[in-house]
Amino acid sequence: MSNPVAADHAGDDTAVDTDTHVGSEPVLRVENLRKEFGGITAVDGASFAVADESLTGLIGPNGAGKSTTFNCITGVHEPTAGAVYFNGENIAGRAPNVIADRGLVRTFQIARELAEMTVLENLMLAPKRQQGESLMRSVLPSFRDGVIKQETELREAVWESLEFFEIDHLAEEQAGTLSGGQRKLLEMARALMTDPDMLLLDEPFAGVNPTLETKLLDRINQLRADEGITFLLVEHDMDIIMEHCDPVIVMHQGQVLAEGPPDVIRNDERVVDAYFGDEQ
């Protein structure tokens, strides 16, 4: 609805969307996405685009379909209808690992740490295409040296990440023993270890202390600038969204209600009715 150009080009891989706010070609384009669970329609024809290197916010009242949209984009759920273009390729219905392999990685609303693995193992798992993920290479002596060399390099990167996220003191703990906020940090650190093109963060700041929250937002902006990573953020903290995200997409009852810069969204009557009306 707010993205008519994209809708006109449904099914056309090469369509260039001009109706975004940052101004460059969208890295992610969702078109008429529908997801039904039995008789319930969780996402009802949502369409939006996310510009490359942007920090886009996705908000909406509880039950608006934000997490289901995330799940459909990342392959956890197969969409009932609609298309999801990532870097020009329709990834709707592909397996989660294929989508992650393309560079679209997500975190979960309720942190899914690998509880009986250490924090270090959780992060070491993430990097893509590790040599030692081949059974032969992990076993045969002639390849084992290469595996060990890569493991040593990854270890340094992992420690650097743990130090940044301030959870290095927990490195050897089982991830299941971490607090809620620490698990969120672990998940974000783990997702970043995959070297993604785009990161979908589902309420990443829930339970994270404000100081670290600021630091993480700094890091997000740094990653956008230095490495060209795009971020799509679901967050309930309206201050964070309005202060840091541009554009902001508002979902309501499974549809995109509005999309635009925070100032416009803040003053959009439909949004105020649907969302802020409840909150204020």
Partner 1 sequence: MNTDRFHSDRLDSFRELLERSDAALVLTAMAAFYLLFLGIGAVLNYNLAGIISILGQVTFFTAVYALVVLALNLHWGYAGLFNIGIAGFMAVGVYTMAMLTAPPTGSPPGLGLPISVGIVGGMVAAALIGLVTALPALRLRADYLAIVTVAISEIIRLTYNSPAFSTFTLPGGIALGTGGANGIGNFPSNPVRAIYYVDPESAASGTTPIGTAVFGFFENTLGVFRSAVIVDLTYGLVLAVVVLLVYVLLARVGNSPFGRVLKAIREDEIVAKSLGKDTDRFKIKTFMLGCALMGLAGVLWQGFGTGAVYPQAFRPELTFYIFIAVIIGGAGSNTGSVLGGAVFANLLFLLPQYLPNIIEQTFAIQANPNTFIAAVGPIAAGEITPLLGYVLNQRLPALRFVFVGILLVYLMQNRPEGLLGHRTETAAAVDLSDGHTPRAGSQSDPTPPAASDPGGVEDE
**Binding-site ranges for partner 1 (CB under 8 A):** 55, 74-76, 95-97, 100-101, 105-106, 108, 112, 114-118, 120-121, 124-126, 128, 130-135, 138-139, 144, 147-148, 151-152, 155, 158-159, 166-172, 174, 181-182, 185, 190-191, 194, 209, 211-212, 214-215, 217-218, 221, 243-244, 246
- How many C-beta neighbours within 10 Å does residue 98 have? 12
Query: Quick one: 32 or 174, whose CB is closer to partner 1?
Result: 174
Rounded CA-CA distance 167/185 in Å is 8
Rounded CA-CA distance 133/187 in Å is 21
The minimum distance between CB 154 and partner 1, in angstroms, equals 9
The minimum distance between CB 26 and partner 1, in angstroms, equals 17
As a dihedral over the C-alpha atoms of residue 56, residue 237, residue 91, residue 93, rounded to 10 degrees, the angle is -160
Rounded CA-CA distance 52/68 in Å is 22
The minimum distance between CB 63 and partner 1, in angstroms, equals 22
Alpha-carbon distance values, 75 to 72, 106, 150, 208 (Å):
5, 10, 29, 27
The minimum distance between CB 186 and partner 1, in angstroms, equals 11
The minimum distance between CB 3 and partner 1, in angstroms, equals 21
The minimum distance between CB 240 and partner 1, in angstroms, equals 10
**Among all chains, which residue has been given the structure tokens 């369409």?**
47
Helix, strand, coil percentages (3-state) for the chain, rounded to 5, are 45, 25, 35
The closest alpha carbon to 1, from 249, 261, 274, 202, belongs to 249
Sign of CA dihedral 14, 16, 20, 23: positive
Query: Quick one: 80 or 118, whose CB is closer to partner 1?
Result: 118
